[in-house]
Amino acid sequence: MRVALFITCLADTLFPEVGRATVTVLERLGHEVVFPEEQTCCGQMHANTGYRAESVPLVRRFARAFEGAGADAIVCPSGSCTAMVRDQYAGLAAASGDAGLEASVTALVPRVFELSQFLVGELGVEDVGAAFPHRVTYHPTCHSLRLLRVGDAPLRLLRAVRGIDLVELGEAEACCGFGGTFAVKNADTSTAMLTDKLQHVLATGAEVCTAADSSCLMHLGGGLSRRRAGVRTMHLAEILAAT
């Protein structure tokens, strides 16, 4: 299968290792991965803060970039950005009054998947040949869980990793408090939510906290670092790429 990588701004600028790991996993499974150079931000930050009209040019750019990729599927290592495309693009394109954009989005959106959603739901693959002999806990991010409804797909992938000691996270479905600009606009509330989440992470005794979104992991990782907790954060793709 020919797969286009939708990298996201955060992975592209701050966590390139997540993009490389995603490519490693997909290529190990025998897929051809292409990277449309024209891609930029998906527009989530604009749309979620009320600047919906300003996000339309980014919807148009996404459509132009990925239409030209000739891919069977578009895969993204982020539940948050995938949810932006799958949940908001159709409405934004319709509101723009641009029939051509609406048609492009209608054709593209069903082929856009978060990584675990693609592996388990579309390919039916749970064992990607990974080995990671460490104690790990998994945080299901809000957009993956509530908007994309990936369910236990990430956990099924993690359970198939050789040598892993996967431990359950208390109150796992509670938000970590990041929420994009929520953390900036509501810093005190965000910090309180993070404090609760970190207590649950530390209670597991895990060496690594993983998730399917670099944004949440950045938030969690900052808190763990300030506590000098000795717990690493790693994206799900990095564990799946490990051998």
pLDDT in tens, the chain (243 residues): 999 999 999 999 999 999 999 999 999 999 999 999 999 999 998 998 889 999 999 999 999 999 989 999 999 999 999 999 999 999 999 999 999 999 999 999 999 999 999 999 999 999 999 999 999 999 999 999 889 999 999 999 999 999 999 999 999 999 998 888 888 889 999 999 999 999 999 999 999 999 999 999 999 999 999 999 899 999 999 999 999
Same domain for 139 and 88: no
CA distance 48 to 51: 7
This prediction has a pTM of 0.94
Same domain for 198 and 86: no
Same domain for 174 and 198: yes
Burial class (CB in 10 A: 0-12, 13-18, 19+), 224: buried
Same domain for 98 and 148: no
Q: Is residue 217 part of a domain?
A: yes
Same domain for 93 and 33: yes
Q: Is residue 220 part of a domain?
A: yes
Same domain for 109 and 142: no
Domain membership of residue 233 as a residue range: 135-241
Same domain for 145 and 67: no
Last residue of a domain, one of 122, 147, 169: 122
Same domain for 162 and 92: no
What pLDDT is recorded for position 49?
87
Last residue of a domain, one of 97, 122, 147: 122
28-44 as b/e: b if 16+ CB within 10 A: eeebebbebeebebbbb
DSSP H helices, the chain, are 9-13, 16-28, 44-48, 52-67, 79-83, 89-96, 99-108, 115-116, 142, 153-159, 182-185, 187-204, 214-226, 236-241
Same domain for 116 and 15: yes
Same domain for 148 and 107: no
What pLDDT is recorded for position 62?
96
Last residue of a domain, one of 122, 148, 172: 122
Q: Is residue 77 part of a domain?
A: yes
Q: Is residue 14 part of a domain?
A: yes
Same domain for 100 and 148: no
Same domain for 90 and 145: no
The tally of domains found in the chain comes to 2
